[in-house]
Amino acid sequence: MVQTAISPILQDRASPLLLAGVEYVVSIFREINDYPNTLEDSLDGNYDYDSDNQIHDWAWPLVEPRLPSSRENAVDKFQRWLGTDQASNDIGQILPAAISGRVETVFIDTTKQLWGQYVPTGIVSLSGSQRQFGDDDLIDLAAVQVLQHGGTVYALADVDPSLLTIPHGVAAVMRY
């Protein structure tokens, strides 16, 4: 049942999978699991009563070392492709692309908010730094859409800011 539930989420992704659970259950899952990026390490124990934040704190040291190459590759793509239709730091281009599933990777500045409205015809209306009635945080909306379409989201805090040109808090690499 777990394998069936996570397979669609991890499909066509290179994300590491860290297993957490009591040792015998983790062992059984390893036997049926066919995800190629499952980590050898695992968090062994019963985590039913631990907070998500606590589990994250235990898991992060095991997962984080396996992420930089993907992040660095995405930054490299952005640098090479900025100025083409394959990369953008314009929310007016990024948001419609994210909603249609065309964004492979989005970089977001988690300290910024970009208020505005998105109309399904593809028009983005910006309100600026002050929220107006009916506004959404367009940076958050883009990140959610990228995740829903199987893309990757990186917080700018995880990337050397000198490597990216992100004047409005969001940049993206397109799939096509």
User: How many angstroms separate the CA atoms of 95 and 101, rounded?
Assistant: 10
The residue whose two tokens read 């992420």 is 67
Residue 151, C-beta contacts closer than 8 angstroms, at least 6 positions apart: 98, 101, 103, 104, 105, 106, 175
Mean pLDDT of the region 54-83 = 86
Kindly tell me the burial class for residue 55, based on how many C-beta atoms sit within 10 Å of its own C-beta (0-12, 13-18, 19 or more).
middle
The whole-chain average pLDDT of the chain stands at 88
- Write out pLDDT tens, residues 59-69: 989 988 877 57
Dihedral (CA of 137, 141, 147, 151) sign: negative
With contact defined as beta carbons under 8 Å apart, do 171 and 105 qualify? Answer: no
End-to-end CA distance of the chain: 34
With contact defined as beta carbons under 8 Å apart, do 105 and 77 qualify? Answer: yes
What letter represents residue 125's amino acid? S
User: How many angstroms separate the CA atoms of 139 and 92, rounded?
Assistant: 11
User: Count H helices, E strands: the chain?
Assistant: 6, 9
Global pTM? 0.60
pLDDT value at 78 more than 90: yes
- Write out pLDDT tens, residues 88-146: 999 999 999 999 999 999 999 988 889 999 988 777 788 867 898 989 999 999 999 99
Q: What is the DSSP string of 98-152?
A: HHTT-EEEEEE-TT---EEEEETTTEEEEEESS--TT-EEHHHHHHHHHHHTT-E
Q: Given pLDDT bands bounded at 50, 70 and 90, which one contains residue 2?
A: low
